Amino acid sequence: MIHTASNDLFTRAKQSIPGGVNSPVRAFRSVGGHPLFMTRGEGAYMWDADGNKYIDYVGSWGPFILGHSHPKVVEAIQKQAVIATSFGTPTELEVELAEMVKGVMPSIDLIRMVSSGTEATMSAIRLARGYTGREKIIKFEGCYHGHGDSFLIKAGSGALTLGAPDSPGVTRGTAQDTLNARYNDIASVEMLLAMNPRQIAAIIVEPVAGNMGVVPAKDKFLQGLRKICDREGIVLIFDEVMTGFRVGIGGAQELYGIRPDLTTLGKIIGGGLPVGAFGGKREIMELLSPLGPVYQAGTLSGNPLAMAAGIATLRIVMEENPYPELEKKSAYLADAFAANLQQAEIAATQTRVGSMLCLFFTDRQVVDYESAVTSKTTKYASYFTSMLDSGVYLAPSQFEAMFVSAAHSQDDLDRTIEAQREAFNAMNQEN
């Protein structure tokens, strides 16, 4: 494929934007080459600046469960844009979306809208600290909760090491308040609690990890976290920015039957527009200003355009229930991928939860960050490039999810499977 226009745009972008991109993973650093600049999306497809068409499995990193530019979502945005794009005052749309989310997530008594997933997780942590009067939090190595300072902490040598800043600009004081445990490992959490008695305000976790590739929670892992939090008076936060309305109508908490104290949301609830939200138990949420002392605010929180897009998306999801069909499509892909791997004799491991999939180029079972990073990223780069050349757009990083949408047709799935078969053959020839 010819990418002249995208390459020219990237050259131009680097003169005005750091690295030429507004989010690092878009830069193609881990897969090589230059990022593609997209101009249009419709259904399961998007087109780049050179007119190349792709079957899209990124879906703007998760929001497009219905595909690009769903007519009813577009109509809702257009109608609202004519009325007003923002007021800086309350609107009925905020109330309607809040009621819709509450209606399918029983763990949420009250919810507050914000403008991004990062803002939601930052606010949830602050609220948990205000509620408990404690300062430290536990997160899990490999889980990503946005770019807030408290989350950009790496585990050091082992899960029980006090955090060290993972990015310049994050203070050591902030790092010392963030403890890292191993995903799917309750024992690592218990050891941190023993080392920091009555100091932990919150445990925040992706109930399905989606930012070290897709890593499902093991049986009883989430149940174990719930029991620990109940026993120790700790706020359990589910980061469902990615999984909310993706793995089921009630998110991962419905799938696994666990009620967190706080939930963070984003992506699908905004229908592709910038949005985030956090909600949970009334007694915790009522500590937020203006009712309580924990301050949180946002000029564009509850933006009418995002609310309109989110309402339209959730209304379709609730009325049409695409989840059984998404499960069928995703299982079809996963089964065919497994057959392709076996035929090509390529060492790789697949993971899947609902319509979230990932292929790791490792022969190890992937259950946490340590096992995820055994994947050979150079092989993924070859795989990505070959798929891209065949018109299939995957995440330009090994450690991201592949999203199936309601818009993907049987022909799209079969073309993807054939493209993968060709990619594996090409990779074997390279070796």
- Among the options 57, 144, 380, 383, which is catalytic? 144
**What is the torsion angle, in degrees rounded to the nearest 10, for the CA atoms of residue 105, residue 111, residue 116 and residue 118?**
-90
Which H helix or E strand runs over 179?
A: strand 178-181
| Closest to 386 measured CA to CA, from 327, 335, 328, 427 | 427
Residue 216 and residue 220: Cα distance in Å, rounded? 12
Selecting among 139, 267, 329, 379, the annotated active-site residue is 267
Residue 181: both structure tokens together: 């445990």
Give me 307's structure tokens.
């609310």
The 3-state DSSP class for residue 109 equals coil
Asked about 267 being catalytic, the answer comes back as: yes
Q: What is the dihedral of CA 332, 337, 342, 348, to 10 degrees?
A: -130
Q: Going edge to edge, which strands form the sheet with 392-393? A: 38-42, 45-48, 53-56, 392-393
CA distances from residue 399 to 82, 96, 287, 347 in whole angstroms, order as listed:
40, 35, 36, 17
Give the chain's end-to-end CA distance (angstroms, integer).
Answer: 23
> Catalytic annotation on 144?
yes
Point out the catalytic residue in the list 56, 149, 239, 368.
239
Q: Is 332 a catalytic residue?
A: no
Task: Count the alpha carbons within 13 Å of 49 in the hemisphere toward its beta carbon.
Answer: 12
Residues with catalytic function: 144, 239, 267
